[in-house]
Structure 1
Amino acid sequence: MSTDNVGCLYIVPTPIGNLADITERAITVLRSCDAIAAEDTRHSGQLMQHLGIRATLFALHEHNERQRAEQVIERLQRGESIALISDAGTPLISDPGYVLVQQCRQAGIKVIALPGACAFVTALSGAGLPTDRFSFEGFLPAKPQQRRKRLEQLVSDTRTLVFYESPHRITDTLADLMTTVGSERPLVLARELTKQFETYLTGTVAEVQQQVLSDSNQQRGEMVLILGGAPEVEHDDVNPAALRTLNLLRNELPLKKAAALAAEIHGARKNTLYQLALEQDNQ
């Protein structure tokens, strides 16, 4: 496909569910490339068969990317053009490919990224939460202690937060959200996007948790969680004495308990003191 001596690496999004969502440009590139690097060749082979594409597929995934990248670059330097795809959606978004793209850039090989399907962008655009500022956090840690620690680090973030989550962890993650950010933060669970059973569950953290726990069908499929950002804290409204008390109590008590006691002593809002303390920690 390339007319130069050096080939080109194409980053090609594939459908996240509905096969009709693949673009004409993506199909043209996949048909024209010398080979396709796929996360799972068996899975992607079914899509290629559906599209009538007979290009050679080879595996490039998180376990072999560093070793395979060198071979891919050698092929590109010989003038071949190669497409990189993931199992679904846009490559590199919580999927392999970063190492290969970085090494191609360093080697002076042309990289062309095509626009296309992406689960978190689709979910965010349909969630009804603020989109002017957001942070995509990918998958939370699988281990409970690490997951809660990560959520605690994000508690004071005022941006909309977007996560991917797996069905077998969704109830645990919702429980951890209740513990860390509380029950009243706005939350949307987007499930099975573009597929037959596409669903958006909306409400507070507590309300979404209840919907998921009361219906096992809501615990299935590919999931995106969109969490409303923390409320902006007005520093001028905080009693300086309450903040001093909080900082003293923190020397002996966990932050949540210290915030609750300082709020009770000074008649302040517990959540406001808690958010301020987190902001201090992040400075």
Structure 2
Amino acid sequence: MDISEARVGSLVDEAPRWRTTLLGYLALTKPRVIELLLVTTIPAMLLADRGSVDPLLIFHTLVGGLLAAAGANTLNCVADADIDKVMKRTERRPLARATVPRSHALVFGLTLSVTSFFYLWWTTNLLSAHLAGATIAFYVLVYTLVLKRRTSQNVVWGGAAGCMPVMIGWSAVTDTIAWPALVMFAIIFFWTPPHTWALAMKYKDDYRAAGVPMLPAVATEQQVTKQILIYTWLTVLATLALVPTTGWLYAAVALLAGAWFVVMAHQLYRGVRRGESVRPLRLFLQSNNYLAVVFLALAVDSVLALPLIP
């Protein structure tokens, strides 16, 4: 859930009936969450063919991926409708406010999901379509219905769904899965816990009220920030593991941005240990910038095909 959803809710309140319904369906897809698709898929595709990817293939992959993400997010809202009503951060979601009937949302989510499979199969290849379908199934059936409500490590394993855009992008170009795609998967996999837990630290009372065992709701702040620090280091190390297949521009940006990200995580951890007032939301927001900068550097490096050693 992105903190900008409150704005979508306010727009729904002010809109005429038909616009209210339209904005409700749009909010179900969590548009801001889908930005991760754009940030990671294109660089993965460019790296797969070192910048010479057909623009039409990129377009089709993004459309198919967008449909898949929108379908998965909608089904997530359907499954989480009960807890969304309890949490202040999510109480303005369409199903929590009954802006959209739950049965309609279910049909909408299933339609988007099925459409994404056949669209990717038609425009890219069957492997990409299967990866998208597996992502939707894992996110809804494994993360949302099982892990989210049963373990404090929910976002660690559930975050795997958010890593799949790079796999889909790579497979759309090559019709295979190779080690650079797995490294990019690892980058996002390790990045997800510190990103999500930093936000959850601010809204831990929400999770407690809803009975969701998100780590900040069941552990001390020192334990949480220690885990954030560990996963931040793992994220940076994963970005450096991609260096052998990239050029000097990506290597430099990954190193500098990684140092900055680690320093921020250390500051949060040190502040908690000292009993100081901390701002975990700052790390949450800046983690978005970090991931965007790293993958933008990867895209530019791939297009320019800059060698690591001239």
Q: TM-score, normalised by structure 2?
A: 0.25
- Per residue, is there more helix in 1 or in 2? 2
User: Which structure is richer in relative contact order (CA contacts within 8 A, separation 6 or more)?
Assistant: 2
